[in-house]
Structure 1
């Protein structure tokens, strides 16, 4: 007889395992199916271990600039193997933490590859053979993988995806990064700090193209100052693999082609959802226009009892968005099963923050100034520079700015965009504000502690209305 549950979650990434925990908290008999490692890509090969790498690079960068702080440090070197070992240790620790959370919440874990074979039925194939599980509801949380280029198939030696870039056998002497989204820019920043000669190629007209244009321009200047070469409106042409590297032909923004040899290449051009061979076609589950699974604001697919969350549905493809979707879906399922104490709300993609952990950091939420104007808003925008903040100067981090975008008619906060030290921690203040539908009046009347970087959030709001105090 097949094992039977209220909910089965297929995939244990930040969407899947959080969803399973919330289901269990709501009294639902829950199982999770995972083919590789609990915690998924984010915890084991993405968000967390990359931040460990970037932290090492940040400390290394500061050590090399010790004299700026009145300190002396000589013969500073980096041990790449030790840096990678620390990163893998952080991932291992958190993987064990998720395993503990499954036990704590009495969630049954089935290790193996899952496939939907009928409504409410999931076939799992693993080391112990094949078993069929049954559930009243199934949540698909299978995540995504790195998109590859036809002429740049990863081999783990010279051509890397993010996964290879996290466990390098050697430090690249000359590195080409294709793509300047969060993943590409983070690795470009890391390897530059570690001593590699780094070139970034982006086909769009600016790097980090989803960010506000002023942020993109500031970041490009900062990275070039640090020694990176940035090529925008550029395309990769012919590729020739050799024993010691890759000869890559790149067409620049003026249409000129040049061939350069690189020791390694990182391809960071987006992701592809892991939707093959999981039974979607057999159940006639509808895709959206981007060939992800089509869902409503709660995660429902067109098939009753089948839900989907995370990177296999529409973006933004971020871990915290997946976790939020997981909680929403769990509560919507509980509500359908008769729980009157939960009141899930549909996902508002406009309130999802984005963070990029390069040096300097980037963080944003909501509409850029350009997007707000395209949407028909009359806007008031304000910018405040780090150089005007006492804490930033004391930290030795005077480079950066915070920008706010408001609806000129209502005062609604439409968006906030930051670049500089620790902005990935600051952005949540604006996210809370947007979620609470704040206006400029509440932000202006909020008391910000001194001396803190957060004071710039207040000043950027004041600046939008011509009231900035320290510039």
Structure 2
């Protein structure tokens, strides 16, 4: 092994976990390489978080234009140019992909293009286009290979009539009718996007409510908002493909003991992820799997010495910001820094960028009660907030859950305009272990949407002013 092929750390995968791990390692003086088989930035930057937000921004502008007269602005009825919407989204992804390459080069991280496989302890073999591209060594190896869309039997992606997120992001035609299977963040975001562009959208969810990881009050308000917009929501339901004919597909939907056939132009399947663990050479290691995901300890170590794992290939929640934070913890622990702390999963916020937006952190009310907490719950509607009314966005709610004895903020749940930005205030409060006393004593600027956060805390203690 030559010195050129020897590193202190090799990262397998350059998504939001992998490239962050590589850059942080380089900052700490490690000779670092990252191996990537497809796109720097991973799914998030190229086919997930960022390009979907670009699509949703186009939908939002169209929605605002439709209501412009309500604000005293007279504009023609908007029309959507699907090709230009997709082109803008792809251009933004390409721009950021180039930015990641610049950051890696700036930090002197070696980028090795190809597919990585564990060849032996501390050694990684890389292939490119089916040919050997070299073997590289390092005492520390990080698996950051991410995940892909989960396929359901009978609902497999065919790239034409049945889509997963990747095709749904680059449609060549706007479906006049659309069936979305799964009502998590991905399914609901695509429901919002396509509905805003004019598609007739039906959402099918196998659980008894949409957005099932959210607080029940928020799920209920979200369902009402989407149905008021004209979407059809079916919960406690299952879907299967009956037939495909021409440019249409017919699905059988079973719900509440009844069944119906629904014919639509396209189907989007958004039912979770499958970790990318194939062909990594894990069978020759001590790595343990749990439901297909790699098991790690609080420092992201696997059971194989010198081998670590971060991001979607490991435990939930499967979020880009969780992967990036794990990257920092993992690398700083490898470097032996003294002030590294394990990741507190309950302090990871979750966001859905639909209209209305949904965001949350910590325990739901049900979870808090099930864990034995005596709780105090505060609710404050956006209808009581001057900024929300001025924006023309009075539909929304902020809900807080406190431990009645200690005043600890157990969870916060929000639906409404810009709540994906607001949630970080509660996330910081949980990280700092703030109680209701600190939150009540905090001065919130006026007029802002953030005042709803203050009022929701006050409401939990019978002190809300504007409701």
If the TM-score is normalised by the length of the shorter chain, which range does it land in? over 0.9
Q: Is the 8 A contact 1:460 1:468 kept in 2?
A: yes
Alignment of 1:143-222 (within 5 A): 143-222=146-225
Q: Is the 8 A contact 1:380 1:406 kept in 2?
A: yes
Structure-2 residue corresponding to 1:374: 370
Structure-1 residue corresponding to 2:334: 333
Aligned counterparts of 1:260 and 1:206: Cα–Cα separation in 2: 20
Aligned counterparts of 1:8 and 1:364: Cα–Cα separation in 2: 34
Task: Please state if 1:309 is matched with 2:306.
Answer: no
**CA offsets 1:372-412 (integer angstroms, 9 cap, x no match):** 00000000000000000000001110000100000000000
**CA offsets 1:4-44 (integer angstroms, 9 cap, x no match):** 00000000000000011100000000000000010000000
Q: Is the 8 A contact 2:274 2:292 kept in 1?
A: no
Alignment of 1:58-457 (within 5 A): 58-127=60-129, 129-252=132-255, 254-288=256-290, 290-335=291-336, 341-457=337-453
Displacement after TM superposition at 1:343 (Å): 2.1
Aligned counterparts of 1:29 and 1:186: Cα–Cα separation in 2: 40
Aligned residue for 1:230, secondary structure, equals strand
Aligned counterparts of 1:177 and 1:88: Cα–Cα separation in 2: 23
Q: Is the 8 A contact 1:4 1:133 kept in 2?
A: yes
Q: Is the 8 A contact 1:203 1:234 kept in 2?
A: yes
Aligned counterparts of 1:287 and 1:103: Cα–Cα separation in 2: 34
Structure-2 residue corresponding to 1:460: 456
Aligned counterparts of 1:50 and 1:66: Cα–Cα separation in 2: 24
Structure-1 residue corresponding to 2:465: 469
**CA offsets 1:276-332 (integer angstroms, 9 cap, x no match):** 0101111131113x2210101110001110000000000100000000000000101
Aligned residue for 2:213, secondary structure, equals coil
Aligned counterparts of 1:219 and 1:73: Cα–Cα separation in 2: 29
**CA offsets 1:352-391 (integer angstroms, 9 cap, x no match):** 0000000000000000000000000000000000000000
Matched residue pairs, number?
Answer: 464
Aligned residue for 1:231, secondary structure, equals strand
Aligned counterparts of 1:243 and 1:98: Cα–Cα separation in 2: 42
Displacement after TM superposition at 1:51 (Å): 0.3
Which structure 2 residue ranges, 5 or more long, are not aligned? Answer: none
Cα–Cα, structure 1 residues 155 and 237, in superposed 2: closer, same or farther, change >3 Å? closer
Structure-1 residue corresponding to 2:20: 18
Q: Is the 8 A contact 2:65 2:77 kept in 1?
A: no
Aligned counterparts of 2:224 and 2:349: Cα–Cα separation in 1: 24
After TM superposition, the runs of 4+ consecutive aligned structure 1 residues lying more than 2 A away are 127-130
Root-mean-square deviation over aligned CA pairs = 0.9
Which structure 1 residue ranges, 5 or more long, are not aligned? Answer: 336-340
Aligned counterparts of 2:361 and 2:373: Cα–Cα separation in 1: 17
- TM-score when scaled to structure 1? 0.97
Aligned residue for 2:342, secondary structure, equals coil
Structure-2 residue corresponding to 1:30: 32
- TM-score when scaled to structure 2? 0.98
**CA offsets 1:113-146 (integer angstroms, 9 cap, x no match):** 0000111000000157331000010000000000
Q: Is the 8 A contact 1:334 1:342 kept in 2?
A: no
**CA offsets 1:394-435 (integer angstroms, 9 cap, x no match):** 111000010000000000000000000000000000000000
Displacement after TM superposition at 1:342 (Å): 4.3
Q: Is the 8 A contact 1:60 1:78 kept in 2?
A: yes
Aligned residue for 1:441, secondary structure, equals helix
